[in-house]
Amino acid sequence: MTKATDFTHDAEAISWVESANGHPQFPVQNLPLGVFSANNGGEARGGMAIGDMILDLKEIAGLLEGDGASAARMAGEPTLNALLDQGPDLLTALRQGVFKLLTDKDKKDYVEPALHAAEDCHLHMPVTVGDYTDFYTGIHHATNIGSLFRPDNPLLPNYKYVPIGYHGRSSSIRLSGAEVKRPSGQKKPAEEGGKPGFGPSERLDYELEMGIWIGEGNALGEPIPIGEAERHIAGISILNDWSARDIQAWEYQPLGPFLAKNFHSTISPWIVTMDALAPFRAAQPARPDGDPAPLDYLFDEEDQENGAFGIVMDVYIATKQMRENGDEPHRLSTGPMTAMYWTAAQLVAHHSVGGCNLRSGDLLGTGTLTSGEEGGEGSLIELTEGGKSPLTLPNGETRTFLEDGDEVIMTARAQKDGFASIGLGECRAVIVG
């Protein structure tokens, strides 16, 4: 079942942390989870973003009660895996308890010593990612990519029945800000029957995605029913699943992505919880006439009514020349998370239906989310029609794919009338040779 709204979503709520009020990303109605350490020393531990500050959760555990206090103490570890594994009830108790502390002026003197300026802190991966699965839920992206290679049959017959995905490489997932080294690999021969080339990728691309974090896991051999799947989702972050298109074109048959995907994936540092996202849930877009209904194990009425997310995503580029000249990043595209053909709950149910045991901290990528409208392409291969139509940037530079020195920046925000808007932070990285 989807989360219900409560007092923590009150748009009129004001925090005594002044920078939180009207903050575009982290007002008191958000309170995302992450792991930080102070630049002046100290171990990595769990925190919550509040305005321009980070709240040390372990330090305020004694000010909370019951499950909220237990959750805050568990958050004092270098990763949040153990906390997420406790399931949604502890996360709700933690959020509600912290919200009360941050909106009660009488608590300021007790809580303020546990606040750290975000600019004076270092952020870490919030969890140890045991497994990473990347799905292919963006039907407009799948159609666009399929049209480049199979104009007469862009979507294969299984697409509308099966949430397509592949197992990725968790060891190369890095936090926003870490540089991306251009990968090398084999490339398709220039002519049929020829010898493949080898060298740095010349068709390096980004993919605008969202990451879904698993909270409570399931036992091996025990599938998660679709109606219970949301209880196993801790929250979401922004994900950039970089792709080496030229390497991928040569290697992907017959077993799918390999070296073209395993060199780096970038994740934003804050986990925006399902509680924070409660006001921004939306109906899953109706399937076009003629599309098959989901099979029974993937269908739940409430999930269809509330299983999508009302989140808008943007992707920007800042070339080396742009940064040196002081130019603002240029927005390449924008689009909604409702571009998913399958809901997050359907992904969890399908992933576990064969008995696969999901574990806390596992990451599920949505796949590239293209809006289906001009200006909503979630990758350069779509924007440039496979590299045939170069983009001209405002400073006169052109791009078909990413060049060394290019920085890609992704943002996302949730907005709805009657509620305070919240952000998901940034997912950014620079390409290096």
What are the catalytic residues? Answer: 141
Q: What are phi and psi of 3, to 5 degrees?
A: -70, 145
41: left (phi over 0), alpha (psi -120 to 50) or beta: left
- C-alpha distances (whole Å) from 12 to each of 23, 94, 398 are 13, 21, 46
Residues in contact with 240: Cβ distance below 8 Å, sequence separation at least 6, in sequence order: 206, 207, 208, 209, 265, 266, 267, 408, 410, 427, 429
Dump strand ranges (E) for 58-131.
115-117, 121-124
174's CB contacts (< 8 A; 6+ apart) are: 125, 264, 265, 266, 267, 429
Our measurement of the distance from residue 305's CA atom to the centroid of its chain's CA atoms, rounded to an integer in Å, reads: 22
One DSSP character per residue, 150-212 reads -TT--S-TTTTTS--EEE--GGGEEETT--EEPPEEEE--SSTT-PPEEEE-SSEE--EEEEE
Q: CA–CA separation, 411 vs 269, rounded Å?
A: 12
Tokens of 368: 């590239």
In DSSP terms, 34 is beta-bridged to 47
Closest CA to 412 of 236, 285, 278: 236
Is residue 218 within 8 A of residue 232, CB to CB? The reply is yes
